[in-house]
């Protein structure tokens, strides 16, 4: 299929989805009020916000309060089956449970439970895990898409869910979770091509994608947890394949979403997956490659005060919206790079990024809105328009949890070890 045909197909698909979603207003006409409110508030903010080179967005909202809001949003989004909804649409309300996000939100819930000593998060993680176990297909894979559709095995979703399963087993030591994680890992290895990529059946659009580095990360975690080297080797095979797509400019080829631009969310996925996998596999070459790519985006963020919603292969962007999830993911990448390198500029950028994101989270509003992370800012931007998305909450919560841990360690270091003037 040519690019333009793919684009046309994607546009038709999006239009159809938008129309179906808009019919949601007929079922819930009261939703029109928050919809108008959000459209107006974003319009006003876009018109009046100032992005000076010498300033950055600030807010008085403490990170812990923000984390509590995000958790409340996630708990509200947990459906009766135990899965987490993909999104809350301003047009049609909550979606069905989404296996992929439910999987990789599990580590966030456990991290939050530990940081805030909050049982609600632990219970939510346990319910989510039980639901996930019930979805596993006989071959070990997990299904693509929202719950309730014809199940199709999906490499990416299996990898993302594997992250949650590994963490759930670390926390609970329940043998059925370990068994499920190993079955998922074995299926991923079976589906992997000899060059380290995944394509064909089980891959999105049947093509290989560099953002499947997230799958490599999950396999590296499984290898570490089970002490079985085959998962680690598979992870490194993918890592090498992804690294071959890094360009000298820092750009990463091979995101390869036909009919869609290179959304920041996917660029950040590649970086996160490679970075975390590299940390687990002690691959300095991969860490350096991510640092180079992440630095290009850091400079763009520092200059423009937010990152564009999508970029072309020369890191240029004509997009007039930002993808909040991608921004939160980049905050995570920068915080991890600060942790690895000690370069305070990464921490500085992440702190400012988190401030910018806090400003864009609604403090008040109905369930599904308050504490939610919108797909795009402004709300009508291309990425998940008019939706508060659960993976946005997950990545922003991850960023704030990391921020808390790292700023605390800097404060401790400042008290204990900072040298005085000679």
Partner 1 sequence: MRIVVLCSSLYSETACAMAVCIAESGYVPAGALALSLDRGTLLRKVGQWGVRGVARYARTKLVPHQSDEQPRVSNPYLEPWLRHGDGIFRSLRQVGAVHRFPVAVCDEQNSPDSIALLREWSPDLIVFAGGNILRRQLLEVPPLGVLNVHLGLLPEIRGMSSPEWSLLTEIPVGITIHYMDAGIDTGPILQRYEFPGAAQCESLNDLRNRLIGFGVEKLAEIVAGLDQGTISAKPQSDLDRDNQFFVMHEWLQARSAERLTKNRLAVAENSNG
Closest CB 144 distance from partner 1, rounded Å: 40
Number of other CB atoms surrounding residue 151 within 10 Å: 15
Q: What share of the chain is helix, strand, coil (3-state, %, to 5)?
A: 65, 5, 30
- Tell the residue number behind the tokens 């219970």, with chain if given: 123
Structure-token pair, residue 182: 């190993």
Q: Which one, 49 or 312, has the nearer CB to partner 1?
A: 49
Phi/psi for 82 (5° steps) reads 105, -15
As a whole number of angstroms, the distance between CA 384 and CA 375 comes to 5
Specify the pairing of strand 387-389 against strand 93-94: unpaired
Residue 98 vs 246, nearer CB to partner 1: 246
Which CB atom, from 50 or from 173, has the smaller least distance to partner 1?
Answer: 50
- Strands, DSSP E only, in 230-334? 262-263, 310-311, 322-323
CB of 30 to partner 1, least distance (A): 36
Degrees to nearest 5, angle at CA 310 with 195 and 251: 45
- The pair of structure tokens assigned to 72 is 């409340």
Pick the closer one to partner 1 by CB: 207 or 404: 404
In this structure, how many other beta carbons lie within 10 angstroms of the beta carbon of residue 16?
A: 10
C-beta of 44: minimal distance to partner 1 in Å?
14
Helix intervals (H) in 117-253: 119-135, 155-172, 175-191, 213-226, 229-243
Minimum Å gap between C-beta 420 and partner 1 is 4
CB of 358 to partner 1, least distance (A): 13
For residue 324, the minimal CB distance to partner 1 (Å) is 19
- Looking at the DSSP assignment, which residues form a beta bridge with residue 85? 97
Q: Which is nearer to partner 1, 56 or 388 (CB)?
A: 56
Question: What are the Cα distances from residue 95, in Å, to 21, 151, 266, 294, 390?
Answer: 10, 17, 22, 33, 10
- Would you say 26 or 415 has its CB closer to partner 1? 415
Binding site for partner 1 (CB under 8 A): 48, 50, 52-56, 58, 295, 299, 302, 344-345, 347-349, 351-352, 355, 407, 410-411, 414, 418-421
Q: How far is the CB of 405 from partner 1 (least distance, A)?
A: 14
Choice between 23 and 304, CB closer to partner 1: 304
């Amino acid at each position: 299929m040519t690019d333009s045909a793919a684009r046309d197909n994607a546009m038709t698909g999006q239009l159809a989805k938008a129309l179906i979603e808009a019919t949601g207003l007929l079922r819930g006409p009261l939703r029109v009020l928050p919809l108008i409110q959000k459209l107006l508030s974003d319009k006003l903010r876009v018109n009046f916000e100032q992005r000076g080179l010498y300033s950055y967005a600030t807010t008085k909202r403490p990170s812990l309060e923000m984390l509590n809001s995000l958790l409340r949003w996630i708990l509200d989004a947990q459906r009766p089956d135990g899965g987490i909804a993909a999104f809350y649409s301003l047009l049609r309300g909550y979606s069905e449970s989404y296996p992929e996000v439910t999987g990789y939100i599990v580590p966030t819930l456990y991290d939050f439970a530990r940081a805030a000593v909050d049982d609600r998060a632990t219970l939510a993680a346990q319910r989510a895990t039980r639901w996930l176990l019930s979805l596993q297909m006989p071959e070990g894979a997990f299904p693509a898409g929202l719950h309730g559709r014809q199940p199709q095995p999906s490499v990416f979703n299996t990898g993302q869910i594997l992250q949650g399963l590994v963490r759930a087993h670390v926390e609970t030591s329940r043998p059925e979770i370990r068994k499920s994680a190993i079955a998922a890992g074995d299926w991923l290895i079976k589906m992997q091509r000899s060059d380290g990529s995944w394509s064909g059946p089980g891959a999105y659009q049947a093509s290989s994608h560099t953002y499947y580095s997230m799958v490599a990360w999950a396999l590296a975690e499984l290898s570490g947890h089970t002490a079985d080297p085959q998962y680690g080797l598979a992870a490194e095979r993918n890592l090498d394949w992804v690294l071959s797509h890094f360009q000298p400019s820092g750009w990463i080829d091979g995101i390869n979403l036909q009919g869609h631009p290179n959304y920041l969310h996917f660029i950040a996925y590649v970086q996160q997956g490679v970075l975390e996998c590299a940390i687990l596999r002690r691959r300095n070459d991969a860490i350096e490659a991510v640092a180079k790519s992440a630095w290009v985006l850091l400079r763009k963020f520092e200059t423009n005060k937010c990152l564009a919603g999508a970029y072309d292969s020369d890191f240029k962007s004509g997009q007039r919206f930002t993808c909040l999830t991608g921004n939160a993911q980049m905050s995570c990448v920068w915080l991890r790079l600060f942790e690895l390198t000690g370069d305070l500029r990464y921490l500085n950028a992440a702190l400012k990024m988190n401030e910018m994101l806090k400003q864009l989270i609604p403090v008040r509003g109905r369930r599904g809105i308050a504490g939610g992370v919108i797909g795009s800012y402004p709300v009508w931007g291309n990425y998940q328009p008019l939706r508060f998305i659960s993976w946005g909450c997950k990545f922003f919560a991850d960023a704030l949890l990391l921020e808390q841990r790292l700023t605390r360690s800097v404060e401790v270091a400042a008290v204990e070890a900072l040298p005085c003037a000679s």
